Amino acid sequence: MSDEPITEACVVLGRFQPVHRGHASLLSSAEEWREKNAPNMPLRIAIGSINKPQNLANPWDAGEREKMLNSSLRELGFDAEIVGIPDIDDPPRWVNHAESYHGPSGVLITSDQATADLYASSGWTVELIDLEDRTSLEGWRIRETARMMSTITDEEAILTVLSPTVQVSVIEAMIEMDAFRRLAFMGEGGEPVG
């Protein structure tokens, strides 16, 4: 890793478990805002919880999520820097901790009010973006759908079922990484459905 200081950026923060169409909408909105308001700042995507053990809530590691993000960005037609941030499970200290990974006070672009409040209270400029179809684009719903598809080997079926909520390029990257199969072996007691 470089010893150069991390510059200010337009930051988008998420777990990206997996990267879904809601994330794609947020990333597109963030890039549009950056181009219009801060073209000299890079767009920096921060993957959170990179130190969490793999389970049904966090089935994909940081490298896999970075591959998903790169696939999403290619489909969206722009680039961004991607960094990982380990979780510390301490919200009052989170922003100070995260700044050593995603850079100092820049602009946070988010659709999450609690994250917006946390960053604003730490002196960041915050742009709150409207959520895209929150009902169907919740990570837990998409993970549960992916878990139901985890024993299916028909790639066309996987694409058909998941493409309303996940970009085709991301699904293809996940198939290439064999990122679905492990969900079948992560045990019972998935996330609440309903």
Which domains can be identified in the chain, with CATH numbers?
10-128 (3.40.50.620), 139-185 (no CATH)
Average pLDDT, the chain: 90
Confidence of residue 25 (pLDDT cuts 50, 70, 90): very high
List, for residues 108-117, the tens digit of each pLDDT value: 999 999 999 9
- Report d(CA 24, CA 73) in Å as an integer: 8
Between these two residues, 94 and 6, which has the higher pLDDT value? 94
Tokens of 86: 């380990």
Position 181 scores a pLDDT of 87
List, for residues 128-171, the tens digit of each pLDDT value: 998 766 667 788 999 999 999 998 889 999 999 999 999 999 99
Task: Please check the confidence at residue 106 and state whether its pLDDT lies above 60.
Answer: yes
* pTM (2 d.p.): 0.90
Q: Where are the alpha helices (DSSP H) in the chain?
A: 21-37, 62-76, 91-102, 113-120, 139-148, 155-162, 168-176
> Residues 6 or more apart from 187 whose CB is under 8 A from it?
56
Q: Would you give the distance in Å from CA 175 to the centre of its chain?
A: 18
Tokens of 145: 């759908």
